[in-house]
Amino acid sequence: MSALGAYPDEDARERELDALCAQAGGALVTLGTSVAGRPIRGARVPSTTPGAPRVLVNANIHGPEHVGSRTAMAVLRALGEKRPGERAQELRRAAEVVVVPCVNVDGFARTVASGGRGTLKELRCNEHGVDLNRNFPPPTVGDQGSFWGLVGRRDLVIAGSSDPARATWRGPAPLSEPEAKALYDFALGERFHAAVSLHSFMGTFIPPCVRTAEEARGYRRLVAAARRAQRRRYLRLQWGFFDLFTGELEDFLHHETGTWAVTLECFTLWQTFAQHLRAPTLFARFNPIDPTPVVDNDAPAVIAFLLAALALPHPRRSG
């Protein structure tokens, strides 16, 4: 274990990925490399049904959000346990599952090396200081039919900033960063039917920005299925008319690859402030001291979302 207590360092994370992939009978995949040259790896777990669609679980696109990575690993572990009647085995029958437990491998390593100490800008971003979850190209559908289409686009810092000093800096151009480009190219090639991106620490489900009632209803249905799998049920944040495109992964996946995609923010605001009224490090604000209860709460929700999505045709998929 690393200086971050119950959380592994990067070498232990990669060894765990190797072991769990082998246990599940999967194959390791490398999406690309980071700015610093670290490989971005995942596990491809085959379906027991020939020709099954593909789904994606990814995590740690932001450096300090390690509880998301632990949740992704728990999903991979469940796929390899092969317990009859378990929903993970139902998922294996329904889909080929790709699990990428850490997208921002440089941010992860920087967080470990610093003992979780640093500013949000220092730990969240990649080596170029870019927020990778703001570096995807906005969907071609644009902001028509929205509040922002009426009043004009504004540079909202919390949503994505054009200022390189900000923790939400979008970068000099969409896909300027090799980590985002690797995931973008991978998703275009795979055409996942559904995807869950794991973050922390808001304790919410965040669907992409959608413009039609059909799409909004679809996400309400899918998130409801995920919430039923949780003991501590998270809220759904869906802004509708007031939402905008900010270069986030789920927007790209939904609109450009026909993927039912959601962000799951593990670990609630209440839990983090109950744990530390004043957190000793940034890492301690984003992650529970013991990740097990949060992981046990959220991994079943990931599986439930994917299963529900597999039963629902995507409105933007054209065959």
The pLDDT of 91-100, averaged and rounded, is 97
Examine the pLDDT at 84 and tell me if it is beyond 90.
no
Q: How confident is the model at residue 319 (pLDDT cuts 50, 70, 90)?
A: very low
The answer as to whether 270 is a domain residue is yes
C-alpha distances (whole Å) from 18 to each of 25, 76, 91, 173 are 11, 11, 21, 34
Examine the pLDDT at 149 and tell me if it is beyond 70.
no
Cα–Cα distance measured from residue 318 to residue 287, given in angstroms and rounded to the nearest whole number:
40
Q: What is the pLDDT of residues 227-267, one digit of tens each?
A: 999 999 999 988 765 667 788 999 999 999 999 999 999 99
Cα–Cα distance measured from residue 184 to residue 32, given in angstroms and rounded to the nearest whole number:
11
Q: How confident is the model at residue 155 (pLDDT cuts 50, 70, 90)?
A: low
> How many percent of the chain have pLDDT more than 90?
83
Give the CATH number for residue 43: 3.40.630.10
Three-state DSSP state, 64? coil
The answer as to whether 177 is a domain residue is yes
Three-state DSSP state, 128? coil
Examine the pLDDT at 189 and tell me if it is beyond 70.
yes
User: Would you state the pLDDT for residue 142?
Assistant: 67
The answer as to whether 195 is a domain residue is yes
Quote the mean pLDDT of the chain: 92
**Residues sharing a CB contact under 8 Å with residue 173, sequence separation 6 or more, in sequence order:** none
pTM of the model: 0.94
Cα–Cα distance measured from residue 120 to residue 106, given in angstroms and rounded to the nearest whole number:
14
Of 3-7, 9-13, 98-102, 200-204, the least confident: 3-7
Cα angle: 179, vertex 4, 17; to 5 degrees: 50
The pLDDT of 121-149, averaged and rounded, is 86
The answer as to whether 2 is a domain residue is no
The pLDDT of 270-296, averaged and rounded, is 96
> How many percent of the chain have pLDDT more than 70?
92
Examine the pLDDT at 156 and tell me if it is beyond 80.
no
Instruction: Identify the residue with better confidence: 316 or 50.
Output: 50
How many distinct structural domains can be found in the chain? Answer: 1
Q: How confident is the model at residue 35 (pLDDT cuts 50, 70, 90)?
A: very high
The answer as to whether 5 is a domain residue is no
C-alpha distances (whole Å) from 41 to each of 13, 19, 142, 265 are 11, 13, 32, 22
CA dihedral 155, 109, 34, 141 (to 10 degrees): -30
Q: What is the pLDDT of residues 166-180, one digit of tens each?
A: 999 999 999 999 999
Contact 55, 302 (CB under 8 A): no
Instruction: Identify the residue with better confidence: 239 or 162.
Output: 162
Domain membership of residue 244 as a residue range: 10-310
The answer as to whether 79 is a domain residue is yes
The answer as to whether 156 is a domain residue is yes
The answer as to whether 167 is a domain residue is yes
* Residue 14, H or E segment: helix 10-23
User: Would you state the pLDDT for residue 231?
Assistant: 96
